[in-house]
Amino acid sequence: MEFRNDLVKGSITPVILKLLSERELYGYEIVKVVNERTGGALEWKEGTLYPCLHQLEADGLLTAEWRDTPSGKSRKYYRVTRRGRAELAHRVREWTQFSSAVNAVLLGSPA
């Protein structure tokens, strides 16, 4: 199933923050992990990931560092800052409340 653009866009930031809060990842790895976990349901245009990462870095929610991998390639690894973790907690709360509210209307389940 293909999701609408605005739904995907709104979920990118919390997803990135969540994944990076678990461990350091570089861009391509993030895409891979997302695909693994969602079974390919979230079909990102992969390029859109980078503006999002850069924006989060500029906002101080992520930091980045170039490192060489054993294969000899160099990758830019991202990790979440303390502010980023606080933002993630906020986003998770927000998402929970939002989805409950939407579910209450669409599915009739209690909010």
Residues whose CB falls within 8 Å of the CB of residue 49, separated by 6 or more in sequence, listed in order: 12, 16, 27, 30, 31
Residue span binding other proteins (CB under 8 A) among the ranges 12-20, 74-82, 91-99, 101-109: 74-82
Positions 47 through 66 that interact with other proteins (CB under 8 A):
47-48, 50-52, 54-55, 58, 65-66
- Least separation in angstroms between residue 111's CB and other proteins is 34
Indicate the DSSP class of residue 60. T
Positions 15 through 34 that interact with other proteins (CB under 8 A):
26-28, 31-32
Q: Which of 47, 61, 49 is nearest to 17 (CA)?
A: 61
Q: Which of 80, 82, 58 is nearest to 14 (CA)?
A: 80
**Residue of 37, 46, 60, 94 interacting with other proteins (CB under 8 A):** 46
- Least separation in angstroms between residue 60's CB and other proteins is 11
For 51, phi and psi rounded to 5 degrees? -55, -40
- Residue 26 structure tokens: 């570089």
Residues forming contacts to other proteins in the complex (CB under 8 A) are 26-28, 31-32, 45-48, 50-52, 54-55, 58, 65-66, 73-76
